[in-house]
Amino acid sequence: MEGPVTYETHGDIGVIRIDNPPVNATSHAVRAGLIAAADAFAASPAKVAVLMAEGRTFVAGADITEFGKPPLEPHLPDVINRIEALEKPVVCVIHGTALGGGFEIALGSHYRVMITGAKIGLPEVNLGLIPGAGGTQRLPRLIGLVPACEIFTSARQVGAAECLKLGIADALSDKAPFEAGMDFARKILDEGLPVRRVSEMDVPPTDQDALQALTNRVAKANRGHVCHLKGIDVAIVGTQKPFAEGLKMERAAFWELMQSPQRAAMIHAFFAERKVANLPELKGVEPRPIGHVGVIGGGTMGSGIAVSCLLSGLRVTLIERNAETVEHAHNGIAKTLADSVKRGKLGADARDALLAEKLLCTDKYEKLAAADVVIEAVFESMEVKKDVFTKLDAICKPGAVLATNTSYLDINEIAAMTRRPQDVIGLHFFSPAHVMRLLEVVVAAKTAPEVVATGFALAKTLRKVPVRAGVCDGFIGNRILKTYRTAADIMVLEGASPFQVDKALVDFGFAMGPYAVADLAGLDIGYLTRQRLLPQRKPGERWGEWGDVLYEKGRLGRKTGHGHYIYDEASPKGRPDPEVEEIIAHERARKGIAPRSFTDAEIVERYMAAMINEGAKVVGEGIARRPMDVDVTLLYGYGFPRFRGGPMHYADQIGLAKVLATIEEAGKSGDLIWEPAPLLKQLVAEGRSFDSLNKD
Ligand code: 3H9
């Protein structure tokens, strides 16, 4: 047999081998090959078959690149049914990950062996889908409705040991897939194990209370998504019917979801996340070493960066000013690592080893002499940063990458303090740095390509999502944030309440609205930003000046129990504070603004239009490489709902002409944020989408 699936025999044992790099996705050729291999096995004298894959992993699922195109026969459910219907036993060997359709192939096999370290999962919900090749019907029959629904609604990867316990795996092996498969095939022959079809099993009894509790939890955790509850419904109703009918129901629901904008948005996010991390201009550019990272500053950001590096196995030298702040930083890092131990993310021994062997907190800059990468995370002041970089230039070894974590300062100016501006770069982490996945890699005018490549390599090591950004105030993310926050503030000035704005945006899909976020971050941050921007303000410019009143009244957000909301025992997550509305009403009166009402839809429309417009400016000016870089920034750093794909993808979905019309209408107020982006105007005039710029 030719192609990505082959069949061969070894005595009584047939071997079906899938070889479709990089991840053995079930492309059309693989599906057709599996049918041919199943037929070949059926016709051959072999008494048992091993189904396995070559390369780094078993099958990672359906070929996502085929989604959105007309489906070609044979369809995966039919392929799996064909394998399951074989009259001779088939054992599937899983190494790496068996995901989505890959795991569904394993469920259609009669036995499953997992190689140590292998994992299974049904991650379709991450793509706005449900399992569509029997996962919602076979898994509940194999292990019960509650654990099955938990697995496909969480999309989590389940390890080999847990699979054995759940009854998903029949055996574990630490051999190579071929040997492990041959061992189990011989066992089938020796013990006369029969064909065992999951589709013919009865669903184990269901704890209805546990099922209801799971459904409630899933509904709450996945507000706005349609696929999760659809999956549970299909699993419950389908498993009460004969298998073939359940499968039909699953297929119908899968195809309905396949046509949904949520599916398109989530698949856009999937590929965008991978594409932004692979810059074409860095192809063949070797990154510099990154084994030893220096961090300057042990505040929240510096400590978070240190923890992130430690958890990825890097050596960290953290610099603070004096013995007291050194100790404080060390304790902070130890506490965060202790929390990781508590949450089961890190063993206590591993934690102790990290603290003893990988971390040095000191006030001696000389200890950075051997560091490969140094990340400065001190106070946001140009003078302080210039001082740090002058010191680093004197101490660090030649070729060390000197990075600043500034969130808006001019990195060219910082680089100019050194005799090696080619080694200077921005690495903008998001707080908490050991949790948030976005890393803006800010490329200054003289940054060398290997230094950019090193920034991307570091992101990969830290399991972060890197986005290339150019230098401007706020880079990609904070620059866009400033604009859409201003749009929200202007709506509040014109008559909306902060609570209505938050609610409208939470209903749209954000985890929190901008005012609840501000309370969480601390209203002192917004105050300091406004103070900083004061000298640059243009005559007639409007912004949320009432925020200054909140700040002056000591309402700093959650940390003081009052911000936009009141936080107390009765409402730990906050309840609207009428006093805030009075402060805003006073501000409107002072400005002579007669308040008007806003609908929730109008709030979302304007907020999104401001975000998209600034996103288009950022792309047009080359600060972000492509619209998808803006999408990934907002998705991973700013809580943008993934099921909407990012602001630029969302803009394409609603239509750019409509976005421009909203901007022009809002712009009648004269507010500067509504100046339409030239790129947006151009795309509308040419009838093109943002996605047309994502291609390279
Ligand atoms: C499904 O199965 C539906 C069924 O229920 C029903 C069907 C009827 N297809 O992530 P990486 C590419 S839905 C096509 O960098 P890693 C990826 O773009 C599917 N391509 O590697 C990248 O390409 P490039 C359910 C895919 O080692 C390269 O492979 N399955 C697919 O960090 C390497 O990927 C999933 O959702 C695919 N399915 O992680 C699994 N998967 O090199 C999604 C990957 O050109 N995949 N590629 O940039 C993953 O989670 C990870 O890729 C995996 C490997 C864990 C497998």
* Cα dist from 466 to 234, 629, 630, 647, whole Å: 37, 9, 12, 18
- Please tell me if the CB atom of residue 131 comes closer than 6 angstroms to any atom of ligand 1: yes
What residue has token string 């546990």? Answer: 210
Tell me whether strands 315-319 and 359-362 are parallel, antiparallel or unpaired: parallel
By alpha-carbon position, which residue is closest to atom 32 of ligand 1?
A: 274
Per-residue pLDDT reduced to its tens digit, 151-182: 999 999 999 999 999 999 999 999 999 999 99
Which atom of ligand 1 is closest in space to residue 271's alpha carbon? 18
Per-residue pLDDT reduced to its tens digit, 620-637: 999 999 999 999 999 999
Per-residue pLDDT reduced to its tens digit, 597-613: 999 999 999 999 999 99
- Please tell me if the CB atom of residue 23 comes closer than 6 angstroms to any atom of ligand 1: yes
Determine the pLDDT at residue 454: 98
- Please tell me if the CB atom of residue 342 comes closer than 6 angstroms to any atom of ligand 1: no
> Does the structure show a pLDDT above 90 at 68?
no
- DSSP calls for 319-361: E-SSHHHHHHHHHHHHHHHHHHHHTTSS-HHHHHHIIIIIEEE
What residue has token string 């549970």? Answer: 232
- Please tell me if the CB atom of residue 61 comes closer than 6 angstroms to any atom of ligand 1: yes
What residue has token string 């941050």? Answer: 525
The pick from 20, 23, 283, 642 for probing ligand 1's pocket by mutation, whose C-beta has the most ligand atoms within 8 angstroms, reads 23
3-state secondary structure of 673: helix
How would you class 68 by CB atoms within 10 Å of its CB: exposed for 0-12, middle for 13-18, buried for 19 or more? exposed
Q: Rounded to whole angstroms, how far apart are CA atoms 385 and 402?
A: 12
Distance 286 CA to ligand 1 centre (A): 25
Determine the pLDDT at residue 526: 84
For residue 16, list its beta bridge partners: 7, 51
Per-residue pLDDT reduced to its tens digit, 474-506: 999 999 999 999 999 999 999 999 999 999 999
Distance 226 CA to ligand 1 centre (A): 22
Distance 690 CA to ligand 1 centre (A): 24
User: What Rg, from alpha-carbon coordinates, does the chain have?
Assistant: 28
Take residue 322 and report the two structure tokens written for it. Answer: 């004096």
- Please tell me if the CB atom of residue 97 comes closer than 6 angstroms to any atom of ligand 1: yes
Distance 239 CA to ligand 1 centre (A): 28
Determine the pLDDT at residue 250: 98
Beginning with the edge strand found earlier in the chain, give each strand of the sheet holding 97-99 in spatial order.
97-99, 119-121, 158-159
Distance 108 CA to ligand 1 centre (A): 20
> Does the structure show a pLDDT above 90 at 560?
yes
What's CA 160's distance to the chain center, in Å? 24
Q: Rounded to whole angstroms, how far apart are CA atoms 613 and 651?
A: 10
- Please tell me if the CB atom of residue 128 comes closer than 6 angstroms to any atom of ligand 1: no
| pTM listed for this prediction | 0.90
Count other C-beta atoms under 10 Å from residue 233's C-beta: 16
Distance 271 CA to ligand 1 centre (A): 9
What is the mean predicted confidence (pLDDT) over 510-531? Answer: 90
Q: Rounded to whole angstroms, how far apart are CA atoms 280 and 112?
A: 40
- Please tell me if the CB atom of residue 274 comes closer than 6 angstroms to any atom of ligand 1: yes
* Cα dist from 666 to 329, 521, 539, 545, 613, whole Å: 47, 29, 18, 20, 12
> Does the structure show a pLDDT above 70 at 587?
yes
- The residue type found at 609 is A
Which atom of ligand 1 is closest in space to residue 61's alpha carbon? 2
> Does the structure show a pLDDT above 80 at 185?
yes
Count other C-beta atoms under 10 Å from residue 37's C-beta: 26
- Please tell me if the CB atom of residue 124 comes closer than 6 angstroms to any atom of ligand 1: yes
Determine the pLDDT at residue 541: 85
Which atom of ligand 1 is closest in space to residue 63's alpha carbon? 9
> Does the structure show a pLDDT above 90 at 244?
yes
Which atom of ligand 1 is closest in space to residue 62's alpha carbon? 2
- Identify the DSSP state of 111: E
297: left (phi over 0), alpha (psi -120 to 50) or beta: left
What is the mean predicted confidence (pLDDT) over 341-369? Answer: 94
By alpha-carbon position, which residue is closest to atom 43 of ligand 1?
A: 60
Question: Do the Cβ atoms of 442 and 479 come closer than 8 Å?
Answer: no
Which atom of ligand 1 is closest in space to residue 278's alpha carbon? 48
- Please tell me if the CB atom of residue 310 comes closer than 6 angstroms to any atom of ligand 1: no
What percent of the chain is modeled with pLDDT above 90? 92
Residue 27, phi then psi, degrees to nearest 5: -65, 175
By alpha-carbon position, which residue is closest to atom 33 of ligand 1?
A: 22
Which atom of ligand 1 is closest in space to residue 99's alpha carbon? 30
Distance 60 CA to ligand 1 centre (A): 6
- Please tell me if the CB atom of residue 76 comes closer than 6 angstroms to any atom of ligand 1: yes
Distance 515 CA to ligand 1 centre (A): 37
Q: Give the N- to C-terminal CA distance of the chain in Å, as an integer.
A: 36
Which atom of ligand 1 is closest in space to residue 104's alpha carbon? 5
What percent of the chain is modeled with pLDDT above 70? 100
Question: Mean pLDDT score of the chain, rounded to an integer?
Answer: 96
Determine the pLDDT at residue 536: 87
Per-residue pLDDT reduced to its tens digit, 254-268: 999 999 999 999 999
Give the model's confidence band at 581: pLDDT under 50 very low, under 70 low, under 90 confident, else very high: very high
- Please tell me if the CB atom of residue 133 comes closer than 6 angstroms to any atom of ligand 1: yes
- Please tell me if the CB atom of residue 269 comes closer than 6 angstroms to any atom of ligand 1: no
- Please tell me if the CB atom of residue 20 comes closer than 6 angstroms to any atom of ligand 1: no
- Please tell me if the CB atom of residue 62 comes closer than 6 angstroms to any atom of ligand 1: yes
Determine the pLDDT at residue 180: 98
What is the mean predicted confidence (pLDDT) over 381-410? Answer: 95
Which atom of ligand 1 is closest in space to residue 126's alpha carbon? 36
Distance 80 CA to ligand 1 centre (A): 19
By alpha-carbon position, which residue is closest to atom 30 of ligand 1?
A: 61
- Please tell me if the CB atom of residue 22 comes closer than 6 angstroms to any atom of ligand 1: yes
Determine the pLDDT at residue 696: 66
Closest CA to 436 of 155, 633, 645, 648: 633
Q: Rounded to whole angstroms, how far apart are CA atoms 593 and 79?
A: 66
> Does the structure show a pLDDT above 80 at 1?
no
The pick from 24, 27, 64 for probing ligand 1's pocket by mutation, whose C-beta has the most ligand atoms within 8 angstroms, reads 64
> Does the structure show a pLDDT above 90 at 446?
yes
Distance 693 CA to ligand 1 centre (A): 23
Which atom of ligand 1 is closest in space to residue 65's alpha carbon? 14
- Please tell me if the CB atom of residue 100 comes closer than 6 angstroms to any atom of ligand 1: yes
Give the catalytic positions in this structure. 104, 124
Look at the alpha carbons of 629, 635, 636, 638 in this order and tell me if their dihedral is positive or negative. Answer: positive
- The residue type found at 505 is L
What is the mean predicted confidence (pLDDT) over 257-284? Answer: 94
What is the mean predicted confidence (pLDDT) over 433-458? Answer: 97
Per-residue pLDDT reduced to its tens digit, 362-379: 999 999 999 999 999 998
Distance 173 CA to ligand 1 centre (A): 25
For residue 602, list its beta bridge partners: none
Q: Rounded to whole angstroms, how far apart are CA atoms 640 and 510?
A: 6
Take residue 286 and report the two structure tokens written for it. Answer: 């070797």
Per-residue pLDDT reduced to its tens digit, 414-424: 999 999 999 99
Per-residue pLDDT reduced to its tens digit, 299-332: 999 999 999 999 999 999 999 999 999 999 999 9
Give the model's confidence band at 17: pLDDT under 50 very low, under 70 low, under 90 confident, else very high: very high
* Cα dist from 490 to 409, 480, 512, whole Å: 26, 15, 19
